[in-house]
A and B are shown apart, each in its own frame.
Chain A
């Protein structure tokens, strides 16, 4: 590395890094949507009174929670093209890996949220003549989601940071683009500290926002 801190290399490459940030945000957004949907489904399965279903969902969660995310990304990077029978883009396989991995974590959050809604609510719903599905849909889940919004958002921030791991399969996200510039121009110090700074500001703003929300909604 030569010379002092060179601001030009950062300014010149803002458009290129912006492309990367867009991919990071897109991946985060899709993974959150898929993860929450899958997590809700898994949580309902885990709370099911039918033992095989709750056992299967529990095994799924424990299995994914004991694996490192990088290994999951590698797995799906090879597994998905093999199952589909043709090459798929890196983005698709990574997205599937993230959704399935995050579903396990969201499941635990949502399960805790559902459990925090008193049993009396379920009995009351059933007593009114609602079916199990209706009780969940109109009584339990709305309250549960309200309780767990702060935790869900915190997990979303963690997920946002974790998307940087697509580095291992070379998807062009924010960090990979900055890394390419860093190695091309031999400006490691400037580029890596820029990435760290941007992530820090975004995540700090996010977690401060979550904390405010938590105070506002605190019962």
Chain B
């Protein structure tokens, strides 16, 4: 099949602007969702390591629920079904007055979905520290909250920096699913350029390169963060 390459199309108006705004929406969605994922995921991960049975059950149920339903289905549930389940006034508000409805839904969906993954990492991190540290903290008179705040979490978070990085990259890649409910992020914009100009290969190449560049930047930054926050003698702790 004949294909007419035309790389110049990418710099033409309005396509160049589409790509830029697509990249901005992708990064915006991913970062906003990461705030939810990190906060909620930390809370749920901590809940799963406490010795209060009710909290552990709620945490486990959350993780199993969000991990075992495809993200695409969750996206549709949040967008189409969730407003129907709310009380009438709240449902109407979500449908009519929610600012940036697609974007907000995508952020909440990605955030709550990734929270289940972050929770698993936080739990694994805390569990890898060993009970000794917890008992030591309690023995010197710290309250359970203080044990988490000053002993378990500072160590746990540093252990799980590499898996958290890959979760962040996951949220960044999964933000492309937001196109199914109408967020014009990077993948959606390149798809649109393909539809307008039939220059699909140029458009998809651009998106591919941009995704790779962002991934590379995040990985490089996180490697520096990991080195800066490393605890001296950590290898002996993890080998124990």
Give the B-binding residues of A (Cβ under 8 A).
Answer: 1, 63, 66-71, 74-75, 78-79, 81-82, 85, 161-162, 164-165, 167-168, 175, 179, 188-189, 192-193, 195-196, 199-200, 203-204, 207
Binds A, one of B8-16, B153-161, B173-181: B173-181
- A66-B212, A71-B204, A203-B67 known; 13 new pairs, CB 8 Å cut-off, are A68-B176, A70-B187, A71-B176, A71-B208, A82-B3, A161-B71, A168-B180, A193-B81, A196-B69, A199-B69, A200-B69, A203-B69, A207-B68
B215 interface contact, C-beta 8 A: yes
Interface string of B179-221 (1 = CB under 8 A from A): 1100000010011001000001100100110011001100000
Q: How far is the CA of A196 from the CA of B80 in the complex (A)?
A: 13
Q: Are A175 and B204 in contact (CB under 8 A)?
A: no
User: A189: which B residues are within 8 A, CB to CB?
Assistant: 80-81, 84-85
Output the least CB separation between A182 and chain B (Å). 8
User: B176: which A residues are within 8 A, CB to CB?
Assistant: 68-71
Output the least CB separation between A187 and chain B (Å). 11
With A1-B84, A78-B204, A204-B68 known to touch, is A67 a contact of B73 (CB < 8 Å)?
Answer: no
Q: What are 23 A-B contacts with C-beta separation under 8 Å?
A: A63-B212, A66-B169, A66-B212, A66-B215, A70-B177, A71-B208, A78-B194, A78-B204, A81-B1, A168-B180, A179-B76, A188-B80, A188-B81, A189-B85, A192-B77, A193-B81, A196-B77, A199-B68, A199-B69, A200-B65, A204-B64, A207-B64, A207-B67
User: B173: which A residues are within 8 A, CB to CB?
Assistant: 66-69
Q: How far is the CA of A169 from the CA of B180 in the complex (A)?
A: 11
Q: Are B73 and A175 in contact (CB under 8 A)?
A: yes
B49 interface contact, C-beta 8 A: no
User: A193: which B residues are within 8 A, CB to CB?
Assistant: 77, 81
Q: Are B70 and A164 in contact (CB under 8 A)?
A: yes
Chain B count of residues within 8 A CB distance of the other chain: 39
Q: How far is the CA of A168 from the CA of B181 in the complex (A)?
A: 11
Closest chain B residue to A82, Cβ basis: B1
Q: Are A203 and B180 in contact (CB under 8 A)?
A: no
Q: How far is the CA of A135 from the CA of B145 in the complex (A)?
A: 53
Partner of B177, one of A165, A199, A207: A165
Which of chain B's residues 58-79 have a Cβ closer than 8 Å to chain A?
64-65, 67-74, 76-77
The dominant DSSP class at the B interface is helix
User: B77: which A residues are within 8 A, CB to CB?
Assistant: 192-193, 196
Q: How far is the CA of A71 from the CA of B69 in the complex (A)?
A: 21
Q: How far is the CA of A67 from the CA of B54 in the complex (A)?
A: 39
Q: Are A200 and B68 in contact (CB under 8 A)?
A: yes
Q: Are B204 and A74 in contact (CB under 8 A)?
A: yes
Output the least CB separation between A87 and chain B (Å). 10
User: B64: which A residues are within 8 A, CB to CB?
Assistant: 204, 207
Which of chain B's residues 1-56 have a Cβ closer than 8 Å to chain A?
1, 3
Q: Are A67 and B212 in contact (CB under 8 A)?
A: yes
Partner of A74, one of B65, B69, B191, B216: B191
Output the least CB separation between B174 and chain A (Å). 7
User: B68: which A residues are within 8 A, CB to CB?
Assistant: 161, 199-200, 203-204, 207
The 4 lowest CB-CB distance pairs between A and B, nearest first, are A66-B215, A203-B68, A161-B70, A68-B173
Q: Are B204 and A196 in contact (CB under 8 A)?
A: no
User: B212: which A residues are within 8 A, CB to CB?
Assistant: 63, 66-67
Q: How far is the CA of A137 from the CA of B80 in the complex (A)?
A: 51
Interface string of B215-240 (1 = CB under 8 A from A): 11000000000000000000000000
Interface string of B154-172 (1 = CB under 8 A from A): 0000000000000001000
Output the least CB separation between A196 and chain B (Å). 5
